[in-house]
Structure 1
């Protein structure tokens, strides 16, 4: 049995990382589609402000989806790609049509909390596996998203 993958990481630890990254991929994919829905359906006095912010967010999420999938491949595994799988794996649930800006921002904050917690779990696993690539990716995402949580929370006067 081969104990190291192509990038020199333990194969069993890489498998665990890939499984957890697939969970993150599923959450990001549902988060992305929800954000597209907020962008399309937002109404009200904050329309112009939120419409732009939601577009910025879903453009960022699509990049992260690609990076996570490519990291799974780099670890020697296959990324999930079916929305039916995403719906089963993701702890972020699909939003119904949301046109209220406040509700959409609340949902976004909940989604950030979910992904940040998951990314912290990945930090622990990647650290144990000596996987600096996944570790750096998760650290960057967490730093970025914590700032966004502050900004979206400020919008809600929290």
Structure 2
């Protein structure tokens, strides 16, 4: 939601570039949420399906106001870095459980978030 929020509300000289980039990011994230939910179901658990459930499980800090464009990029960079940290933690759990499918999914997600954080940092 953070990326979607920033996509809708970004303003300033970099509007078009950021608006389009944020759209690419939230589209990719929507696909990721679906893949993760399907993996959870494959493992026999109920996938979270409400914003309340996502907020409870999330380690990403909510942003209440609408920051300036540069701050949006800084916030999203930190958010992607936080997801990378979470991926590293969860990857160990999957590996210890010999769950190669989950480990692969987590590893693939980590690569995407690392690259996204790098691209965002490069804009600062």
TM range (shorter): over 0.9
Cα deviation 1:117-146 (Å, max 9, x = unaligned): 111111101111111111111111111221
In 2, the alpha carbon distance for the partners of 1:128 and 1:72 equals: 17
Unaligned segments of structure 1, at least 5 residues? 1-32
2:71 aligned residue: 103
Verify: 1:55 aligned to 2:23, yes or no.
yes
2:41 pairs with 1:73: yes
Greater than 4 Å deviation, 4+ residue runs: none
Deviation, 1:98, is 2.2
5+ residue gaps, structure 2: none
| Cα RMSD, aligned residues only | 1.2
- Residue in 1 that maps onto 2:107: 139
Q: Distance in 2 between matches of 1:144 and 1:84?
A: 25
Match of 1:93 in 2: 61
Higher relative contact order structure (alpha carbons within 8 Å, sequence separation ≥ 6): 1
Question: How many residues matched?
Answer: 124
Q: State the 1:154 CA deviation.
A: 0.7
Residues 1-158 of structure 1: pairs in structure 2 closer than 5 A = 33-156=1-124
Any conservation in 2 of the 1:109–1:152 contact (CA below 8 Å)? yes
What is the Cα deviation at residue 88 of structure 1? Answer: 2.4
- Contact persistence 1:73–1:79 (CA under 8 A): yes
1:84 CA drift (Å): 1.7
Structure having the higher Rg: 1
